[in-house]
Amino acid sequence: MALSSIKNQLPFRSTQRRHTGNTETPAYGSHSRQARHRTVKQHASAQSAEACCDRRTLLLGAAALAAVGAGPLPCGALTLEEVTPSIAAAGPLTDRESAIINIFQSSSLAVANVFDVTLLGRNTSSIPEADVPEGNGSGIVWDTDGHVVTNYHVLQSALAKFGAPASAAVSSAPSPAIGKRVGLVTLLLPDGGQQTYDAVLVGADRARDLAVLKIPAARDVLKPLQLGSSAGVRVGQLCLAIGSPFGFDRTLTTGVISGLNRDIRSQLGSTIPGGIQTDAAINPGNSGGPLLDSSGRLIGLNTAIFTPTGTSAGVGFAIPADTVGRVVPQLIASGRVLRPSLGVQVASDAIAQKLKVTSGALLSAVDPDGAAAAAGLLATRRGLGGVVAGDVIIALNGRQVLNGGDLFNALEQCAIGEKVKLAVLRSTDQGQQQLEVDVTLKPEK
């Protein structure tokens, strides 16, 4: 194809300026012969460069036309290989990147995708949609006996179907759904495949938003996570979250520990003391998935987010691994958790402030059959002069108590029947008195 013909078919025009034959020749006047020669040479070089530019433009246009069937490429045209940029070789991974990749690869076999069987018809496809229902969550392989740990609220619909309480009231009685099929659990297999198993309930604890399932998986498929301790966790340390946000299974996010000892208000209405706060992205579907330290040890179980939109806002919460480590063995052994209890209710911060209590756990109610009543502790009450603040617990076994969360977290470390020593502030007509009271803990009702 002639260049003139190609030029007429080009879908673009050059934006280069062109010299024409009518270009006015400058008057050289008194310039020397060398100066005139230099000027003419520069003018010729510019014309040659423009001609080269036009030729390249025409050839590229010809290549484009040939690609769409406009005819063969002219002699000397650029080839596809010549206009394709080279691919840069991948650079080496940093030590931090390598460590994160190794943790993810070794831990992903222990992360499960958990579905509530009563919600299966809504969205459990491998290609998630924008609207992901409750009941689509995560879990962790606990041992090689087939136990999988997840959040209670992930299975809430199925548990309610079998008569589990739907209110925020917490009961230590075994769940009526124990032994019933309540979910499906999908695991990643060592060969890269996936396998889905029916899951029956082994035990559940509403108070700590935990549930244990059992699946009939072979022992060589079950790869439990290494249980760490949350006691040594520090604000600022690296952490990793793995789960199935919006149904995208085995998604990894990273961040740092943002805060400790947070009171987590769970979706069930209970308060979980000692929570771990992180800025690692946690979204719906991450519930029940692991929060890991930089060595791949379990330091928490992701459970909640604080957000005005329903998606991650950089404020996520996990149940501490020490709490998980105390609760799960009891659920496996007996299907329920028996906690030591004082038999008291603690006033909210707002009520405590109205009664000028700035620190400690103010008792708003005392169970007449509980351990605190047997030891003579007093609740907030109405007297002749108005409301009288109840006893304020400021320490348990020497451990400082700043609020109700501190008190219940301290009780988690104790056993039923154990005698504990309380430091108590009591309001009297002569002012506040500090008392030391021995209390024998009873089982939680």
Which tens digit of pLDDT belongs to each residue from 42-80?
Answer: 554 545 545 444 545 544 554 454 555 555 656 668 888
How far is 207 from 152, CA to CA, in rounded Å? 9
Q: Measure Cα distances from 375 to 112, 343, 372, 419 in Å.
A: 46, 11, 5, 11
Do 243 and 111 form a contact (C-beta atoms < 8 A)?
yes
Q: Which of 209, 249, 279, 406 is catalytic?
A: 209
DSSP per-residue letters across 27-90: P-TT--HHHHHHHHHHHHHHHHHHHHHHHHHHHHHHHHHHHTTS-PPPTTPPPHHHHSPPPPPP
Closest listed residue to residue 247, CA positions, set 275, 276, 283, 280: 283
- Residue in 230, 258, 287, 341 annotated catalytic: 287
Catalytic residue among 107, 153, 249, 258: 153
Q: Which residues contact 23 (CB under 8 A, 6 or more apart)?
A: none
DSSP 8-state assignment for residue 23:
P
Do the Cβ atoms of 184 and 246 come closer than 8 Å?
A: no
Residue pLDDT, tens place only, 319-344: 999 999 999 999 999 999 988 999 99
Specify the pLDDT at position 311: 58
Give the CA diameter of the chain: 121
**Reported confidence tier of residue 5, pLDDT bands at 50, 70, 90:** very low
pLDDT at 74: 63
Q: Could you state, in order of their start, the residue ranges of all structural domains in the chain?
A: 3-82, 102-214, 228-334, 340-443
- Taking the domain 102-214, which CATH number applies? 2.40.10.10
Distance separating alpha carbons of residues 59 and 399, to the nearest angstrom: 83
Rounded Cα–Cα distance for residues 196 and 312 (Å): 28
DSSP state of 178: B
pLDDT of residue 31: 42
Predicted local distance difference test score (pLDDT) of residue 123: 45
Rounded mean pLDDT, 214-229: 95
Taking the C-alpha atoms of residue 354 and residue 367, their distance in angstroms, rounded to an integer, is 23
Report the pLDDT averaged over residues 305-320: 74
The mean of the pLDDT values for the chain is: 81
CATH assignment of 340-443?
2.30.42.10
What pLDDT does 247 receive?
83
Question: Which residue, chain included where needed, has tokens 């695991």?
Answer: 187
pLDDT at 165: 64
What are the tokens at 125?
């496809």
* DSSP SS3 for 161: helix
Annotation says 209 is catalytic: yes
Judge whether residue 106 has pLDDT over 60. Answer: yes
What was the pLDDT predicted at 312? 56
Distance CA 205, CA 179 (A): 15
Question: Residue 364: which residues within 8 A CB-CB, separation 6 or more?
Answer: 345, 346, 347, 351, 379, 380, 390
CA distances from 55 to 6, 18, 20, 23, 84 (A): 11, 13, 17, 22, 19
What is the pLDDT averaged over residues 219-241? 94
Write down the pLDDT at residue 19. 42
Judge whether 102-214 and 228-334 match in fold.
Answer: yes
Check residue 250 and report its DSSP letter.
S
Of residues 200 and 39, the one with the higher pLDDT is 200
274 band by pLDDT with thresholds 50, 70 and 90: confident
Beta strands, E only, 82-208: 111-116, 136-141, 147-150, 181-188, 194-205
Token pair, residue 168, equals: 């925020």
Identify whether 98 is a catalytic site residue. no
pLDDT at 9: 44
Least confident of 15-19, 97-101, 364-368, 370-374: 15-19
Q: Are strands 210-214 and 344-346 parallel, antiparallel or unpaired?
A: unpaired
Task: Give the CATH superfamily of 228-334.
Answer: Trypsin-like serine proteases (2.40.10.10)
pLDDT in tens, 127-178: 444 333 456 899 999 999 999 999 999 999 899 888 876 544 455 678 889 9
pTM: 0.69
Asked if 220 is an active-site residue, the reply is: no
